[in-house]
């Protein structure tokens, strides 16, 4: 019945990948949802990856649920009325963020190794 589904451990999921970037972006500059989306699309364009807006929002919401980020509603630069949602680390969130990043580093290394192996095994 309500059994857990055990992942097979293939490559990391897009959601986790985005969460990692969102944490790093929060460490660096203050941005809001759609601006982040623009930025990521530009960054990844040469890599053929174009995330969509929902994934970014869902990743942000995940990070809130994880207790890592919190929202800050602010007036958009220059705009009088339009309010947008910026993010900063929640109380104790920075520690959690560092832990999450450590995990993801291991995951990325694992994925890199898996792909390297596939290239060796199939193209040598």
Partner DNA sequence: ACATGAACACAATGTTCATGT
Partner DNA sequence: ACATGAACATTGTGTTCATGT
Contacting positions for a second copy (CB under 8 A): 8-12, 14, 17, 20-21, 23-24, 43-44, 47-52, 55, 101, 104-105, 108-119, 121-123
* Close Cβ partners of 76 (under 8 Å, ≥ 6 residues apart): 32, 82, 83, 84
| 76, 88, 102, 117: residue in contact with DNA (rule CB under 7 A) | 76
CB of 83 to a second copy, least distance (A): 28
Which partner, a second copy, DNA, none, binds residue 71 by CB below 5 to 8 Å per kind? Answer: DNA
| 25, 39, 41, 51: residue in contact with DNA (rule CB under 7 A) | 51
Question: Contact between 55 and DNA (CB under 7 A)?
Answer: yes
CB of 23 to a second copy, least distance (A): 8
Q: DSSP assignment of 49-94, as one string? A: ----HHHHHHHHHHHHHTTSEEEEEEE-TT-SS-EEEEEEEPTTHH
Contact 107, 20 (CB under 8 A): no
Report the chain's terminal Cα–Cα distance, integer Å: 45
């Amino acid at each position: 019945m309500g059994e857990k589904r055990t992942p097979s451990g293939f490559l990391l999921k897009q959601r986790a990948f985005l969460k990692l970037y969102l944490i790093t972006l929060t460490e660096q500059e203050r941005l809001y949802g759609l601006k982040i989306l623009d930025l990521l699309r530009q960054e990844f364009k040469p890599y053929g990856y174009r995330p969509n807006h929902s994934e970014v929002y869902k990743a942000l919401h995940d990070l809130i649920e994880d207790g890592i980020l919190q929202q800050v509603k602010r007036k958009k630069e220059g705009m009088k009325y339009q309010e947008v949602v910026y993010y900063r680390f929640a109380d104790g969130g920075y520690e959690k963020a560092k832990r999450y990043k450590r995990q993801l580093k291991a995951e990325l290394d694992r994925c890199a190794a898996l792909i390297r192996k596939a290239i060796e095994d199939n193209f040598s």
